[in-house]
């Protein structure tokens, strides 16, 4: 089953993402602006300092720093310890440059002084280190504020979706029968009130529809079963009339079988139309259910010379709805007998699976994926064996309702095997396991 996140979490994540995005954008912007301002400030300081130095040296030539023949220029470090400057700086043009010396960022100001050049060395590494610490603190603060923003967003989102959560609780209570309608007066948000009113209208319509269906199924149960019972009774009485010809008796048997099929179909449709509860599921003796499904077709199996095999523990009980299981077994076993001309029909149970196997005609590979479709009939059905194409469709619907797995394997000319997943009743299963 697909796992879904809560609305509150989604709202909190969206708010947190927006907050974090704004904080990161602001932090990066401040960092870029601070770095740009730092460079402008350093450039201004160097320009002012160089102008002052050149003027003082022109006034007092004795203050001019010594000439470095390796670099071909006067070099001034501002009274600090000299640095091992690379010889490549002699190719620098006039102006301010940045170079890396011993892992430190050094600024070199180059200016003309008479016929010579002057290199003024500035080391702002200590200042830049402090500036970097400030930027790091700014980014750490951004992360902390991001976490704080998520916490606040999660709390605020709870306030935003509290009415949706309250609506969910009311709907759950409605499902459990605690009330019949939702109370719109509990909500002050227009959208939620509109949703409550729409839900109440839909719920009323559903209740009316269920009431109509309940009445309909009750009427069907009486109005259809009564004439079908009359038809069955008439067939039984006419069957004992010796004056009926063999041809009429054969047609009478067809009417009787059609009435049986109609009764099974009505039972199936009523079963699917009603909402069954857990009270309808109980312990069912599996052998008895199989024998009941075989009983109506015993004469047909004997006429064809088909053997029946039941390899099921006589004391095995399964947890199932008795009527639903009877209908499923009746359809599956009837299909096995209908499409088998010789051989056997067997029922075995092992590892939670009931397998109904026959030695009939089998199902073509192209038809196998569609046998559970409503109204689908395979072209290979023998004459007189075709039904309405809804038997296996009803079987599938019943299995889906009660959570029974069903599998169908078939090979043309060799037979078909239907596997039905039925869990044994715990108490009964333990009894015949320990004995």
Tell whether 154 and 23 lie within a shared domain. Answer: yes
Residues of the chain above pLDDT 70, percent: 84
Distance CA(372)–CA(390), nearest Å, equals 8
Instruction: Provide the domain count of the chain.
Output: 2
DSSP-assigned states of every residue in 157-188: HHHHSHHHHHHHHHHHHHHTTS-SS--GGG--
Q: Which of 113, 143, 158 is the last residue of a domain?
A: 158
Residue 150, C-beta contacts closer than 8 angstroms, at least 6 positions apart: 12, 16, 19, 20
Distance CA(329)–CA(341), nearest Å, equals 20
Residue 223 belongs to a domain = no
Residue 248 belongs to a domain = no
Contact 306, 342 (CB under 8 A): yes
Say which residue, 428 or 300, is predicted with more confidence: 300
Residue 266 belongs to a domain = no
Residue 350, C-beta contacts closer than 8 angstroms, at least 6 positions apart: none
Contact 362, 335 (CB under 8 A): no
Q: List beta partners, residue 308.
A: 345
Q: Which of 127, 158, 189 is the last residue of a domain?
A: 158
Is the pLDDT confidence value at 92 over 50?
yes
Model confidence over 144-201: pLDDT tens digits?
877 887 777 777 777 667 777 777 777 777 766 656 677 777 777 777 778 888 888 8
Band (71; pLDDT cuts 50, 70, 90): confident
What is residue 163's predicted lDDT score, i.e. its pLDDT? 74
What is residue 32's predicted lDDT score, i.e. its pLDDT? 83
Residue 375 belongs to a domain = yes
Contact 422, 404 (CB under 8 A): yes
What is residue 122's predicted lDDT score, i.e. its pLDDT? 80
Tell whether 152 and 290 lie within a shared domain. Answer: no
Residue 224 belongs to a domain = no
Summarize the confidence of residues 81-105 as an average pLDDT: 77
What is residue 145's predicted lDDT score, i.e. its pLDDT? 79
The range of the structural domain enclosing residue 307 comes to: 278-434
Q: At what angle do helices 190-239 and 162-175 cross, to 10 degrees?
A: 20
Say which residue, 347 or 374, is predicted with more confidence: 347
Summarize the confidence of residues 354-372 as an average pLDDT: 87
What is residue 264's predicted lDDT score, i.e. its pLDDT? 67
Residue 395 belongs to a domain = yes
Distance CA(308)–CA(292), nearest Å, equals 13
Say which residue, 12 or 111, is predicted with more confidence: 111
pTM of structure: 0.49
Summarize the confidence of residues 6-22 as an average pLDDT: 75
Q: Which of 107, 127, 158 is the last residue of a domain?
A: 158
Band (416; pLDDT cuts 50, 70, 90): very high
Tell whether 152 and 300 lie within a shared domain. Answer: no
Q: Which of 309, 326, 338 is nearest to 422 (CA)?
A: 326
Model confidence over 226-271: pLDDT tens digits?
888 888 888 888 888 888 888 888 888 888 877 876 776 677 667 7
Q: What token pair was written down for 104?
A: 């430190």
Model confidence over 167-177: pLDDT tens digits?
777 777 776 66
Distance CA(350)–CA(345), nearest Å, equals 17
What is residue 388's predicted lDDT score, i.e. its pLDDT? 40
Contact 425, 318 (CB under 8 A): yes
Distance CA(53)–CA(322), nearest Å, equals 108
Model confidence over 113-143: pLDDT tens digits?
777 888 888 877 777 777 778 878 877 887 7
Give Dmax (Cα) for the chain. Answer: 153
Tell whether 17 and 149 lie within a shared domain. Answer: yes
What is residue 177's predicted lDDT score, i.e. its pLDDT? 64
- φ/ψ (deg, to 5) at 350: -160, 135
Distance CA(302)–CA(219), nearest Å, equals 38
CATH of residue 333: 3.30.565.10
What is residue 421's predicted lDDT score, i.e. its pLDDT? 92
What is residue 432's predicted lDDT score, i.e. its pLDDT? 46
Residue 221 belongs to a domain = no
Is the pLDDT confidence value at 383 over 60?
no
Distance CA(174)–CA(152), nearest Å, equals 33
Tell whether 294 and 422 lie within a shared domain. Answer: yes
Contact 119, 90 (CB under 8 A): no
Is the pLDDT confidence value at 382 over 60?
no
Residue 268 belongs to a domain = no
Tell whether 298 and 430 lie within a shared domain. Answer: yes
What is residue 354's predicted lDDT score, i.e. its pLDDT? 94
């Amino acid at each position: 089953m697909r796992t879904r996140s809560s609305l509150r979490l989604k709202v909190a994540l969206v708010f947190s993402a927006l907050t974090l995005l704004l904080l990161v954008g602001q932090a990066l912007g401040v960092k870029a602006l601070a770095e740009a301002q730092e460079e402008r400030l350093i450039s201004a300081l160097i320009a002012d300092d160089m102008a002052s130095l050149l003027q003082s040296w022109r006034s007092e030539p004795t203050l001019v720093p010594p000439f470095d023949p390796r670099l071909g220029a006067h070099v001034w470090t501002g009274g600090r310890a000299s640095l091992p400057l690379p010889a490549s700086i002699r190719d620098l043009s006039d102006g301010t440059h940045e170079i890396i010396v011993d892992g430190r960022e050094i600024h070199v100001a180059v200016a003309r002084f008479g016929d010579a050049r002057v290199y003024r060395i500035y080391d702002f590494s200590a200042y830049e280190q402090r500036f970097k610490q400030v930027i790091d603190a700014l980014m750490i603060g951004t992360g902390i504020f991001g976490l704080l923003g998520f916490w606040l967003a999660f709390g605020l989102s709870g306030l935003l979706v509290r009415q949706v959560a309250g609506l969910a609780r009311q709907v759950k209570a409605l499902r459990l029968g605690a009330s019949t309608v939702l109370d719109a007066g509990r909500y002050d948000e227009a959208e939620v009130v509109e949703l409550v009113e729409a839900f109440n209208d839909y719920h009323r319509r559903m209740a009316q529809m269920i009431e109509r269906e309940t009445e309909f199924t009750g009427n069907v149960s009486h109005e259809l079963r009564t004439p079908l019972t009359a038809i069955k009774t008439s067939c039984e009485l006419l069957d004992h009339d010796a004056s009926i010809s063999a041809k009429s008796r054969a047609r009478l048997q067809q009417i009787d079988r059609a009435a049986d099929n109609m009764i099974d179909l009505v039972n199936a449709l009523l079963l699917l139309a009603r909402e069954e509860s857990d009270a309808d599921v109980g312990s069912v003796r599996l052998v008895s259910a199989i024998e009941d499904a075989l009983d109506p077709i015993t004469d047909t199996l004997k006429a064809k010379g088909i053997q029946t095999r039941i390899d099921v523990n006589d004391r095995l009980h399964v947890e199932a709805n008795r009527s639903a299981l009877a209908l499923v077994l009746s359809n599956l076993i009837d299909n096995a007998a209908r499409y088998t001309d010789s051989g056997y029909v067997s029922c075995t149970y092992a590892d939670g699976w009931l397998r109904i196997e026959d030695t009939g005609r089998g199902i073509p590979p192209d038809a196998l994926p569609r046998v559970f479709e409503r109204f689908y009939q395979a072209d290979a059905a023998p004459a007189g064996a075709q039904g309405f194409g809804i038997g296996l469709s009803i079987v599938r619907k019943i299995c889906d309702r009660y959570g029974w797995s069903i599998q169908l394997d078939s090979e043309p000319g060799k037979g078909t095997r239907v596997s039905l997943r039925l869990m044994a009743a715990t108490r009964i299963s333990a009894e015949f396991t320990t004995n």
